[in-house]
Amino acid sequence: SPSPVPVQGPSAPDEKEGPVPPTEAPLQRVDSAPSSSSSVPQVAEDALDKLKSIVDLLLHNHELGEAVLSIKDLPITSGHAELIDRLVSDSFERKDEGRDLVRRLVIRLCYDAVVSSEDLALGLERTAEVLDDIAVDVPRVYDYFGGFFGRAVSEGVLPFSALNGIVDKLSPYKAASMAAKFIIAVEKHAGVTRCKELFNSSRPDLAKYTPVPSELLALLTKEDLTYIYPLLPIEVELASMASRSEPLDAINTYLEDQRGKGVGESSLAAATTRAILQSCSAEGEGEEGSKQLAEALQSVSSSSGADTVGCLHATLEELVRFRQTTRDSTGVVQRALGHLSRSSVLSRDAIVQWGRDLPPLSPLADHTAGLLDLLQRFN
């Protein structure tokens, strides 16, 4: 496929002025996320040494235009992804003014077509891979990275969907924190309406955060970003009802109300499964609530006209996601499987059939045997 064309902004900002204001034109020019590649060209070490000198001078004289020209003259014919990685990762150890200058330099390099949107995304993905190491000396690095990435999107040099490639490099909880900061940065600089448009056009996969980490949950709720995770209010309410030991009739009534609002059975099954996992994560305290939720899920999947197969697949996919993204998840998943089995939501035969129905080479297929083993241990 052809390489993405770098986004051209309006006129490049004057280097003495503040940050580049977000504009509609460049934002509309980015249509899809660049594809990642494992074979990123390397930049010669002497060029990276010169890059450091260029940045040091920029921090002294604040001359963005001069810095861009100097970088253009570096002996680099390819491999700008490594250049971006070095610029961004080194900036995290600087003070606020230094980080902002480097951010403005990177945006200017994209506006002036020195760096493509593909190289920018690949460079940020490389940076994401070493954030844990940087965090040893810079604890707020995930905040800084999320803000940097969000500004790049709001100023039109990256598509919103590039978030998918970034979060895949991080552990789920750290990715969730970074993603929340990123989204807040886009809203702040591009506006709520534009952020929603960008999100809806690319739909990054945030469903992998199961259950929703408390930090992401707090940020989404506080900043009213629930449109990013539409099942979040349902999941949160179900988990809350379970923790309060609400009667089964009350839970069933709530789920029926959601169906009346147009929420499909598969979506309700996914949200209920995540709530069960949250409840099971509370050790002994959540057992009764988990049992109630499992029985409610059985009612949803067996109700008249329900997509029973779709509900089953949604439930099992959530269990697999939890195993993939959560440390020490075995006990939680085993307890959840026990409640779901006792409530006749799923069985050994149902799991086997689900595995057979998966598309060839589906990564979920590798987890069929694991789920069967956990279910057998429970029984």
Q: 261: which residues sit within 8 A by CB, 6+ positions away?
A: none
Other CB atoms within 10 Å distance of the CB of residue 287: 16
pLDDT tops 80 at residue 24: no
Q: 191: which residues sit within 8 A by CB, 6+ positions away?
A: 22
Tokens describing residue 176: 């969730």
Identify the pLDDT of residue 231.
66
Is 21 in a helix, a strand, or coil?
coil
Higher pLDDT, 312 or 213: 312
The confidence band for 353, taking pLDDT boundaries of 50, 70 and 90, is confident
pLDDT tops 80 at residue 349: yes
Other CB atoms within 10 Å distance of the CB of residue 266: 21
Tokens describing residue 370: 């694991």
* Of 128, 130, 112, 183, residue with least CA distance to 154: 183
The one-letter code for the residue type at 61 is N
Highest mean pLDDT: which of 98-107, 126-135, 365-374? 98-107
CA 145/CA 123 separation, integer angstroms: 12
Give residue 62's region: left, alpha or beta (phi > 0; psi -120 to 50): left
Q: Chain centroid to CA 286: how far?
A: 28
Long-range contacts: 367-370, Cβ < 8 Å, 24+? Answer: 367/320, 367/323, 367/324, 370/323
Long-range contacts: 49-57, Cβ < 8 Å, 24+? Answer: 50/74, 51/83, 51/86, 51/87, 52/90, 55/87, 55/90, 55/102, 55/105
Q: Chain centroid to CA 331: how far?
A: 25
CA 297/CA 315 separation, integer angstroms: 9
Q: Considering only 174-183, 219-228, 317-326, which range has the smallest mean pLDDT?
A: 219-228
Higher pLDDT, 94 or 229: 94
pLDDT tops 80 at residue 72: yes
Whether omega before 213 lies within 30 degrees of 0, making that bond cis, reads no
CA 346/CA 341 separation, integer angstroms: 5
Other CB atoms within 10 Å distance of the CB of residue 288: 13
Q: Chain centroid to CA 70: how far?
A: 35
Distances (CA, A) of 344 to 192, 295, 298, 302, 341: 43, 8, 7, 10, 5
3-state secondary structure 227-262: HHCCCHHHHHHHHHHHHCCCCHHHHHHHHHHHHHCC
* Of 195, 89, 214, residue with least CA distance to 145: 89
pLDDT tops 50 at residue 38: no
Greatest CA separation for the chain: 71
Higher pLDDT, 79 or 312: 312
Tokens describing residue 52: 């450091």
Identify the pLDDT of residue 123.
92
